[in-house]
Amino acid sequence: MTDVTMQENDLTIPEDTNTFSLVRQENGIAHLVMDVKGDSMNTLKAEFGEEIAATLKEIREDKTIKGLVLLSGKADSFVAGADVHMLANCTSAEEATALSRQGQMIFDQLENLSIPVVAAVHGACLGGGLELAMACHGRVCSDSGKTALGLPEVQLGLLPGGGGTQRLPKLVGIQKSLDMMLTGKQLRAKQALKAGLVNVVVPHSILIETAEKLALSGKVKPKARKLSLTDKLLEGNRLGRSVLFSQATKMVLGKTKGNYPAPLKIIDCIRTGAEQAPSKGYQVEAEHFGQLVMSDVSAQLRQIFFATTDMKKEQGVEGIQPAKIESVAVLGGGLMGGGIAFVTATKAKLPVRIKDISHQGISHALKYGYDLLNKKVKRRFMRHSEMQNQLANITGTTEFTGFSNVDIAVEAVFEDLTLKQNMVADIESHCKESTIFASNTSSLPIGQIAEKAQRPENVIGLHYFSPVDKMPLAEIIAHDKTSDQTISTTVAFAKKQGKTPIVVKDKAGFYVNRILAPYMNEAGMLLLEGCSIEALDKAMVKFGFPVGPMQLLDEVGIDVGSKIGPILQAELGERFAPPAAFSKLIADGRLGKKAKKGFYQYNTKSKKKLVDEGVYSSLGLQTSNKAVSEAQVERCVYMMLNEAARCLDEGIIRNARDGDIGAIFGIGFPPFLGGPFNYIDKIGAVTLVSKLNQWQAEFGERFAPCDALVKIAQEGESYYSS
Ligand X SMILES: NC(=O)c1ccc[n+]([C@@H]2O[C@H](COP(=O)([O-])OP(=O)(O)OC[C@H]3O[C@@H](n4cnc5c(N)ncnc54)[C@H](O)[C@@H]3O)[C@@H](O)[C@H]2O)c1
The phi, psi pair for 166, rounded to 5°, reads -100, -40
Q: Which is nearer to ligand X, 123 or 332 (CB)?
A: 332
| DSSP annotation of 64 | T
- Rounded to the nearest 10 degrees, the angle between the axes of helix 558-572 and helix 512-528 is 110
* Binding status of residue 43 toward ligand X by CB under 6 A: no
The type of residue at 543 is: F
Q: Which of 153, 475, 522, 634 is catalytic?
A: 475
Q: Which is nearer to ligand X, 20 or 342 (CB)?
A: 342
Q: Which is nearer to ligand X, 165 or 440 (CB)?
A: 440
Q: Which is nearer to ligand X, 23 or 357 (CB)?
A: 357
Neighbours of 389 (CB within 10 A): 13
The phi, psi pair for 458, rounded to 5°, reads -90, -5
Distance CA 579, CA 561 (A): 11
In whole angstroms, the minimum distance from the beta carbon of 464 to ligand X comes to: 6
* Binding status of residue 396 toward ligand X by CB under 6 A: no
In whole angstroms, the minimum distance from the beta carbon of 461 to ligand X comes to: 10
Q: Which is nearer to ligand X, 179 or 415 (CB)?
A: 415
Sites for ligand X among residues 411-430 (CB under 6 A): 412-415, 419
The phi, psi pair for 385, rounded to 5°, reads -65, -35
Q: Which is nearer to ligand X, 331 or 460 (CB)?
A: 331
In whole angstroms, the minimum distance from the beta carbon of 499 to ligand X comes to: 13
In whole angstroms, the minimum distance from the beta carbon of 658 to ligand X comes to: 18
C-alpha closest to that of 128 among 161, 97, 154, 167: 161
Among 23, 54, 206, 357, binds ligand X (CB under 6 A): 357
The phi, psi pair for 522, rounded to 5°, reads -65, -40
Query: For ligand X, what does the binding mask look like between residues 499 and 538, x meaning CB under 6 A?
Result: ----------------------------------------
In whole angstroms, the minimum distance from the beta carbon of 398 to ligand X comes to: 8
Residue nearest to ligand X (CB): 334
Q: Which is nearer to ligand X, 271 or 355 (CB)?
A: 355
Query: For ligand X, what does the binding mask look like between residues 448 and 467, x meaning CB under 6 A?
Result: ----------------x-x-
In whole angstroms, the minimum distance from the beta carbon of 70 to ligand X comes to: 47
Distance CA 604, CA 623 (A): 20
Identify whether the C-beta of residue 155 lies closer than 8 Å to the C-beta of residue 217.
Answer: no
* Binding status of residue 442 toward ligand X by CB under 6 A: yes
Q: Active-site residue 475, yes or no?
A: yes
Sites for ligand X among residues 326-355 (CB under 6 A): 331-337, 355
The type of residue at 89 is: N
- Give, in degrees to the nearest 5, the angle at Cα 265 between 263 and 267: 70
Sites for ligand X among residues 539-568 (CB under 6 A): 556
* Binding status of residue 358 toward ligand X by CB under 6 A: yes
Q: Which stretch binds ligand X (CB under 6 A): 57-65, 239-247, 440-448, 481-489?
A: 440-448
Q: Which stretch binds ligand X (CB under 6 A): 233-241, 282-290, 409-417, 585-593?
A: 409-417
C-alpha closest to that of 502 among 665, 368, 344: 665
The type of residue at 105 is: M
C-alpha closest to that of 539 among 635, 472, 614, 466: 635
Identify whether the C-beta of residue 57 lies closer than 8 Å to the C-beta of residue 21.
Answer: no
The helix/strand/coil state of 72 is strand
Q: Which is nearer to ligand X, 156 or 365 (CB)?
A: 365
* Count of residues of this chain found to bind ligand X when the rule CB under 6 A is applied: 23
Neighbours of 202 (CB within 10 A): 18
Identify whether the C-beta of residue 172 lies closer than 8 Å to the C-beta of residue 200.
Answer: no
Q: What is the DSSP string of 418-430?
A: HHHHHHHHHHHHH
Q: Which stretch binds ligand X (CB under 6 A): 434-442, 543-551, 635-643, 707-715?
A: 434-442
Q: Which stretch binds ligand X (CB under 6 A): 2-10, 134-142, 356-364, 489-497?
A: 356-364
In whole angstroms, the minimum distance from the beta carbon of 555 to ligand X comes to: 8
Distance CA 547, CA 111 (A): 45
Distances, alpha carbon 578 to alpha carbons 276, 308, 520, 571, in Å: 58, 33, 9, 14
Q: Which stretch binds ligand X (CB under 6 A): 64-72, 439-447, 571-579, 689-697?
A: 439-447
In whole angstroms, the minimum distance from the beta carbon of 473 to ligand X comes to: 11
Q: Is the dihedral of CA 495, 497, 499, 503 positive or negative?
A: negative
In whole angstroms, the minimum distance from the beta carbon of 420 to ligand X comes to: 7
Determine the straight-line distance between the first and last CA of the chain, rounded to whole angstroms: 42
Identify whether the C-beta of residue 505 lies closer than 8 Å to the C-beta of residue 480.
Answer: no
Q: Which is nearer to ligand X, 464 or 679 (CB)?
A: 464
* Binding status of residue 666 toward ligand X by CB under 6 A: no
Give residues in contact with ligand X (CB under 6 A): 331-337, 355-358, 361, 412-415, 419, 440-442, 464, 466, 556
The residues that are catalytic are: 475
